[in-house]
Structure 1
């Protein structure tokens, strides 16, 4: 890893390059985080992939370009998983925490208590434990990037019918975690930020009627996964060397902060 004094770059090409960086991406088997892995790989990073599902297809596709993309299948919600991943990954430069679950039910549903526990365990507790497993190591080295993927639902309470309180609250807590981590680690040159996507065209939403959400959105369409991945890759890069504690809105104008 680079020393803290080397983070500052002056050439545009270097500022956006991830060459020589090691980036660990959770939730990398599909959706936004698979696109994040591809974007970081294209910018020169060594990408480490993890998900509860197999990342073999993505790992193979990236490795065909001549650089390995190691993978490890693990349930991120297990209490022991973050330390296992830390031992497996070793020293990394950036950590993208995108593994999450979304189940469109309300609190009067028979399975709400189970879904509430799953949402909090996966969307909030797991990223907190991952940060605990990696942030101190980054601080010791004098630099690092952590990006947490939240949601516009944390800001609006939900953009379309079916966004239950379990999901919105888990993502709201994640946004608070961004601010907590930034306050704790920025002075050690570990820059922690978040991204709050809006409606994204991913398999997670394939069975939902998105028309109510898209009707309120100025761009009138869902985002492609790569349209969220590019800002995340930027936050991992030297170009974001003076950004800490921010929640970057990537929602097509659906939510504008006051």
Structure 2
């Protein structure tokens, strides 16, 4: 059985991606979430309407031991299962000016995005190389591409993943495993709920926020065989909002 693993998949962009991978590519879904069990169950129900399995895996991607235990135990229990697609979507923000930023606000954001990428991807990359096929897709951000005031921690985390994406793509391309990053701009979600949409829209050439489903369409393409010759790329999806 072929699976796609989506981290931070209970809501928002992660939810849309998980649903799309099931709909478009017929993957069974491993849906990681941190704490919102109710939202994860709702998402799983929608995914299973596409006649695929959705297994819920609750763990914090920043916790190396927990990540290894949960994913390792799942693999032992499902020896025939193959994870072909990893979407590293889990991330948190703790915004504030750098000069006032506490250690926890720095480390928790870095640990979730950057260490989470390592903890999850490390678990399955060897299998992808052995099978000579895989798709690793990292959800980064406009903040990681151009930097964003008040988000030095988040920009640092996402910028680091962009660099890691490019390097890993060069390491493992010969085994037909592609590694790409998707950098959303302002997308309607819980993360942007407090933003001044009316003001921000004026900066965006397309004059609107994006939808999670639009990001999911791009991820679905990158996860498909149609994207076999694309690797090491950072694809912006931001309505034309560039620095």
- 1:79 partnered with 2:64: yes
Which stretch shows the higher mean deviation, 38-47 or 63-72? 63-72
What residue is the counterpart of 1:48 in the other structure? Answer: 30
Q: Deviations over 1:184-209 (max 9, x none)?
A: 11111111111011001001121222
- 1:229 partnered with 2:220: no
The secondary structure found in structure 1 opposite 2:32 is: strand
> C-alpha displacement at 1:212, in angstroms?
4.4
What residue is the counterpart of 1:26 in the other structure? Answer: 7
Q: TM-score, normalised by structure 1?
A: 0.85
The secondary structure found in structure 1 opposite 2:99 is: coil
Return closer, same or farther for 1:246/1:33 CA change in 2, 3 Å cut-off. Answer: same
In the TM superposition, 1:1-150 aligns within 5 A as 21-43=2-24, 44-53=26-35, 54=37, 55-87=40-72, 88-89=74-75, 90-109=81-100, 112-150=102-140
The secondary structure found in structure 2 opposite 1:93 is: strand
On the 8 A contact 2:189/2:212 being kept in 1, the answer is yes
What residue is the counterpart of 1:202 in the other structure? Answer: 189
Alpha-carbon separation, structure 2, partners of 1:34 and 1:127: 18
The secondary structure found in structure 2 opposite 1:70 is: strand
Alpha-carbon separation, structure 1, partners of 2:41 and 2:21: 17
The secondary structure found in structure 2 opposite 1:146 is: strand
Which stretch shows the higher mean deviation, 42-51 or 128-137? 128-137
Alpha-carbon separation, structure 2, partners of 1:234 and 1:199: 20
- 1:249 partnered with 2:236: yes
Unpaired runs of 5+ residues, structure 2, are 76-80
The secondary structure found in structure 2 opposite 1:108 is: helix
Alpha-carbon separation, structure 2, partners of 1:152 and 1:141: 33
Structure having the larger proportion of residues in helix = 2
In the TM superposition, 1:206-225 aligns within 5 A as 206-225=193-212
